[in-house]
Amino acid sequence: MPDTYKDNLESYLDKLVPKRPSKLQKMEAYADKHGFPIIGPASGQACYQIARMIKAQRVFELGSGYGYSTAWFARAVRENGGGEVHHVVWDDDLSQKARNHLQALGYGDLIRYHVNEAVQTLRETDGPFDLIFNDIEKLAYPESVSVIEKKLRPGGVLIIDNMVWSGRVWDETEQSEATQAIRQTTEMLTTNPNWISSLLPIRDGLLVAYKVG
């Protein structure tokens, strides 16, 4: 029953998302066919909405895949009057796929591409940023928080993906290093008075943290 509930909820939330451009839908279909991890329509819509609400014009993604989440942020930045979205991946081929997708969607002029380790790239990139999205290797989540805090403006927002981790975070028998890292990051952001944080159970869990100061 819990699995049925989760599947039905995810399907229902995705159906509530307004129709996407055909290119974006093709990116979703590719991810489904090949098992490529993307944030999906409901999470994408939430990211887009948050970026619009805070009028984000400078967005940095730590871990960007082939540009699916980037497209949602780029749309928001465009509608907020323009700016830049930083797309970061390790792999040249993946970066090129993202360039092709984002150019086809009409966002090419907004994207700044980096092929490098994501946290180090953030360290080396001038801030501040209005919004930072974190979807890197989970073991690196705790260490990334201090770097993100320095680069995010007061009143900016951090969004972290996979914070429900398919339910492993509340399974007391689950003690893998990745799960422990997610738990540690959640505690860091929900107990620190410099952040106002909520965990949204959309898809695999989005932790949304507002930087107070």
Catalogue the E-assigned strands of the chain. Answer: 58-62, 84-89, 111-115, 129-134, 152-160, 195-200, 206-211
Mean pLDDT (whole number) for 202-206: 96
| pLDDT of the residue at 1 | 40
How far apart are alpha carbons 169 and 133 in whole angstroms? 20
Per-residue pLDDT tens digits for 152-188 = 999 999 999 999 999 999 999 999 999 999 999 999 9
- Give the contacts of 195 (CB within 8 A, at least 6 positions apart): 158, 189, 209, 210, 211, 212
| pLDDT of the residue at 213 | 77
User: What domains are defined for the chain?
Assistant: 2-211 (3.40.50.150)
- Give the confidence band of 6 by pLDDT, cuts at 50, 70, 90: confident
Mean pLDDT of the chain: 96
- Give the contacts of 115 (CB within 8 A, at least 6 positions apart): 88, 89, 90, 91, 92, 95
pTM of the predicted protein model: 0.96
Q: Is the pLDDT confidence value at 146 over 90?
A: yes
